[in-house]
Structure formats: structure tokens, C-alpha cells
Amino acid sequence: DIQMTQSPSSLSASVGDRVTITCQASQDISNYLNWYQQKPGKAPKLLIYDASNLETGVPSRFSGSGSGTDFTFTISSLQPEDIATYYCQQYDNLPTFGQGTRLEIK
């Protein structure tokens, strides 16, 4: 199984900050990497697919990059509504998720 190591596991930032989350795959997964946002008590929401493609309707402050084993998710200017847990997910083989990054407002 492909393991996804996501870091940090939690993060505290101020409104307007640039926030970065990383995800590392245990083997080369090309660009087969998605990012999701999950707010408490809600279903996850797809933000980025194929490592860098913004899902329709998602604000442009969200972005993704990377290929191979190392990937980055960025919020360019943190907004209060961005408080959530973020997950990466690979699909080179059967899907597996990272352990999540809990984002809080400082």
C-alpha cells in the first residue's frame, strides 16, 4: 500500500497568513494527488485534483503543486471560513488518505 505522510498534523495561523501543508508519498505517484477540506460534522469537499487543478467553484486562494512523491497545498491568504481539517489523497493505486492537518485560527 502507498502511505501518505501529511504534515503538520495541526497548524495555527492568523487571518491573512499564507498557509502551507505538505504531503509525501511512500513511492512515486506522478500527479495522482487530491486535496480535500472537511469542516466539523460535514462531509469532505474536493478542492484540488491531479495535484494542481482547482475544482470548479473553489476560491483561487487555494492551490496545489508537486509531483512524484512530494506535494504542497497552499492557502495564499487565510480566511476565517478556511478553518477545517485538510486531507491529501493519492490514487496511483487504490486510494489512500493522509492523516489530516487540523487548521486553526491564531
Partner 1 sequence: EVQLVESGGGLVQPGGSLRLSCAASGFTFSSYEMNWVRQAPGKGLEWVSYISSSGSTIYYADSVKGRFTISRDNAKNSLYLQMNSLRAEDTAVYYCARDRSGYGASFAFDIWGQGTMVTVSS
40 binds partner 1 (CB under 8 A): no
Distance between CA atoms of residues 63 and 59, nearest Å:
9
Q: Is the dihedral of CA 76, 81, 83, 86 positive or negative?
A: negative
Among 25, 84, 87, 103, binds partner 1 (CB under 8 A): 87
100 binds partner 1 (CB under 8 A): yes
37 binds partner 1 (CB under 8 A): no
Among 8, 59, 95, 104, binds partner 1 (CB under 8 A): 95
| Nearest in space to 28 (alpha carbons), one of 4, 52, 47 | 4
50 binds partner 1 (CB under 8 A): yes
Distance between CA atoms of residues 22 and 11, nearest Å:
12
Distance between CA atoms of residues 16 and 2, nearest Å:
34
Contact residues toward partner 1 (CB under 8 A) are 1, 32, 34, 36, 38, 43-46, 49-50, 55, 87, 89, 91, 94-100
